[in-house]
Structure 1
């Protein structure tokens, strides 16, 4: 698919370059085509009907404009040098390509974990690379073109706004209940220790 896109763009650029090339006049820009029929001084413009001067000796033109080409700059596209694709009935696959400054690779294992990376040339001419993983923890990506948070200044130690609060004090009812429970627990523990073991 990518090779077809590259070839299509190259064909469009080649066909379009013929229309971009200079065509300054009707016939005068191409010396030798109708140069013997044009009078002196008419380079690039076809004169009106009846203004032709046909003579047995060829006319010498000194001010014939050269053919000017104004083609757009063309950067050749590097061909894809290698590509691969493999898959099996367990859902595992791997594919990728490499060629020029662009490359991509991706794999999926039997557990459904997908890992991959790709790189490309951005508008500034820098090669950008991304790595990604998709698994049970979600989709995670790291790359050279992702924004980076600015460095935070060294934080000062956290100062408390005031004195620490005092621990909660028991009410008289809660204190009496705790004392009664402690007495009952100690009596039960002493009775259990003094009683003969029923298993003997």
Structure 2
């Protein structure tokens, strides 16, 4: 088995060296220093240059942010069930802690498809799981109900009956 491994490695080394005969290797000299390169014999087809009218050059490159992300992470845990962990990878980050009573608090953020940083905060404790975030939808304000004519007439009749019953109760003397 060892002989097969040695032979395989030797074949790979020989084959990989033959792929680029003009390349002297990682630690070798520059290919321009070789005698066959200086002799003018082309090893590869040389491109031909055409004369162009002078003019401004334009580059079609998209702009990019040159901010280097910060990569860090941490983690800790003890015998009481408490823990804390987190990481920071540029626009993606997370942090979470748990205390001895089982309360968990944390947050995370990420870069969404529109290029905005979205942040979520969450808590899990005796009151349940609660979350707040920058991309959560908000409920619309409740609209004031408008009553149909039938409902408006029934409400007016009920209010009149209630007022009449209240007046009758106030006129009757209390007995003990």
Q: TM-score range by the shorter chain?
A: 0.3 to 0.5
- In terms of fraction of residues, the more helix-rich structure is 2
Please say which structure displays the higher CA radius of gyration.
Answer: 1
After TM superposition, the score normalised by the length of structure 2 is 0.47
After TM superposition, the score normalised by the length of structure 1 is 0.42
